[in-house]
Amino acid sequence: MPTTSLDPVLITGCSSGIGAATADLLVKAGHTVYATARRPETLADLEAAGARTLALDVSSEESMATAVKEVEAQHGRVGTLVNNAGYGEYGTIEETDLDKVRAMFETNVFGLARLTQLVLPGMRRAGRGRVVNIGSMGGRITFPVGGYYHATKYAVEAISDALRNEVRGFGIDVVLIEPGLIRTAFEEGVHATVASGAGSQGDSPYAALLASNAASTSASYGNSLLAAGPESVARVVLSAVESSRPRSRYVVTPAARALIGARTLGGDRVWDAYIKRQFKA
């Protein structure tokens, strides 16, 4: 661990997946890590590995403020914040329950933003700090049936870009991690939200698209050339945390880089043709 390391590291959403893998890797690298989750009992393995654990629900102001105060009481400030907590609410734009969409924005966007607000004063006083936001390739490209989830990740892109230039003068870096398909419980969540949504009814005008999406999602996550394990993201986060000059963006997985490049260079016609072929839309 370099002497320039910005500890302690506070990580949200550590009960499984990317958050758990990241907390575990940073602990093994010698960092002081606060692993958090809504249900702290899910963090037993990380605590046994050496992480400090806290309850933190990013949809609760009280929970966020309490967690930040506890870290600051021990260390003076949060050195690095890794905003990882998030989930996907999937379905078509027409049929998805907007109350569920609002709840997703509360976690994926407003929770991220508020927790960042809470740690920034301490970072400014210290004259250094780092905010690492876990975005997605889905903040640069958009697939059907995932429009509202993509909207949250596009929002994280905008927040990260604005914040990076607002806090640079205070010695604070902002880094955006953009994973591609990562094998976690996320795929199960995608299928579950679609299955429970209005579009699950057999008479949905989007039934064929939803079925095609389910098949394509399963095939993509099952393809070792397209999907990777959460440890691949954890390694990139470790690099971003330890680098003396971190990049503003890190795209994780070759497939994600290829898709983002195709979307950027090909324009709407090329992308729409790819979507039509992929989803038989």
Give catalytic residue positions. Answer: 149
Specify the residue for token string 């990139």. Answer: 236
**Maximal CA-CA distance, the chain:** 61
Q: Which amino acid is present at 197? A: G
44 exposure class (CB count in 10 Å sphere: 0-12, 13-18, 19+): exposed
d(CA 226, CA 187): 14
Closest alpha carbon to 64 in 105, 118, 103: 118
26 exposure class (CB count in 10 Å sphere: 0-12, 13-18, 19+): buried
d(CA 192, CA 187): 9
Q: Which amino acid is present at 246? A: P
Task: Give Cβ neighbours of residue 94 (< 8 Å, ≥ 6 apart).
Answer: 206
- Which residues sit opposite 80 in a β-bridge? 9, 130
- Report helix, strand or coil for 164: helix
d(CA 119, CA 107): 17
- Report helix, strand or coil for 227: strand
